[in-house]
């Protein structure tokens, strides 16, 4: 590993929302890993900082992706289930998630800072809701009431002896889950291009932006090339 990187950001908790976080638990490689992988065909490694940086930009511009697979990250993520389910759609990576069969799940639930409404021009996107203060107060009351019922029922079922694998079925998509995610930089760039886009779901985008800020400290040249793409 390049001495410039050391242990930058390793194991630091980066809070995302009320209960969620992103934590980098392991990393392999840096900018020079990409350079060495790209030049191995010619028996070369570094040609100096300027030429190495130009090479990374060339690889990115011409979609030569395999050298970027030689940088690998492992993240520990805590997020609402509805965010995790979007995350897991990115299949070129490895996931291990906490099990509601083996452990009692923590009843921490996502509570929105504001309510949005569907965008008429794009049914996959949303915009700030045009709700009155009374509407918002009423919706928050309903939201909190539903979560109180779910939480008390879940614990009651467990106390009565219902199996964890059954009792978990009543928990909502806003329940927080935890997982480990190992991903190479090429796949991470694909994830970031989709999940930091303006039309990505806001909660998903918040997590993706934190992942991006952590990762770019390990591969600054690679991210400069990635961010320069139209």
The count of other CB atoms within 10 Å of the CB of residue 205 is: 17
Q: Where are the domains of the chain?
A: 13-100+174-227, 116-170
In which region does residue 106 sit, left (phi positive, over 0), alpha (psi from -120 to 50) or beta (all else)? beta
pLDDT value at residue 117: 85
Q: Is 79 helix (H, G, I), strand (E, B) or coil?
A: strand
Q: Span 20-32, mean pLDDT?
A: 97
- Show the tokens assigned to 132: 């009155």
Task: Specify whether the CB–CB gap between 175 and 105 falls below 8 A.
Answer: yes
Task: Specify whether the CB–CB gap between 25 and 14 falls below 8 A.
Answer: no
What is the dotted CATH code of the domain comprising 13-100+174-227? 3.30.1360.170
Distance CA 68, CA 29 (A): 10
pLDDT value at residue 46: 79
Which residues form the catalytic set? Answer: 195
The residues, any chain, with a CB within 8 Å of residue 16's CB and separated by 6 or more, are 22, 79, 206, 207, 210
Closest to 174 measured CA to CA, from 111, 100, 99: 111
Residues in the chain: 230
Measured between alpha carbons, how far apart are the two ends of the chain, in Å?
30
User: In this structure, are strands 72-80 and 21-28 parallel, antiparallel, or unpaired?
Assistant: antiparallel
- Provide the whole-model pTM: 0.91
Task: Specify whether the CB–CB gap between 34 and 14 falls below 8 A.
Answer: no
* DSSP run (H or E) holding 66: none
Longest dimension (CA), the chain: 69
How high does pLDDT run on average in the chain?
92
Segment 79-137, tens digit of pLDDT: 999 999 999 999 999 999 999 999 999 999 999 988 888 877 666 667 676 788 999 99
Phi then psi dihedrals of residue 176, to 5 deg: -80, 140
pLDDT value at residue 7: 59
Band of residue 1 on the pLDDT scale cut at 50, 70, 90: very low
Q: Span 21-43, mean pLDDT?
A: 92
Distance CA 197, CA 190 (A): 11
Task: Specify whether the CB–CB gap between 107 and 155 falls below 8 A.
Answer: yes
Distance CA 24, CA 76 (A): 6
pLDDT value at residue 116: 84
């Amino acid at each position: 590993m390049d001495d410039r990187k050391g242990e930058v950001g390793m194991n630091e908790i980066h809070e995302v929302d009320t209960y969620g976080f992103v934590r980098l638990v392991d990393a392999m490689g840096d900018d020079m890993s990409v350079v060495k992988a790209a030049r191995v065909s010619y028996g070369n490694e570094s040609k100096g900082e300027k030429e190495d940086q130009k090479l990374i930009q060339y690889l990115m511009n011409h979609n030569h992706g395999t050298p970027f697979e030689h940088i690998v990250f492992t993240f520990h993520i805590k997020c609402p289930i509805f965010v995790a389910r979007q995350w897991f759609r990115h299949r070129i990576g490895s996931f291990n998630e906490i099990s509601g069969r083996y452990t009692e799940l923590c009843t921490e639930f996502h509570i929105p800072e504001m309510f949005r409404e569907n965008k008429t021009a794009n049914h996959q996107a949303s915009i700030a809701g045009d709700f009155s203060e009374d509407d918002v107060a009423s919706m928050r009351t309903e939201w909190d009431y539903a979560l109180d019922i779910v939480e008390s029922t879940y614990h009651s079922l467990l106390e009565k002896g219902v199996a964890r694998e059954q009792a978990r079925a009543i928990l909502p998509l806003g329940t927080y889950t935890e997982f480990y995610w190992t991903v190479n930089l090429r796949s991470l760039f694909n994830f970031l291009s989709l999940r930091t886009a303006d039309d990505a779901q806001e909660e998903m985008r918040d997590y993706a932006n934190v992942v991006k800020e952590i990762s770019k400290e390990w591969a600054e040249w690679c991210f400069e090339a990635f961010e320069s793409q139209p």
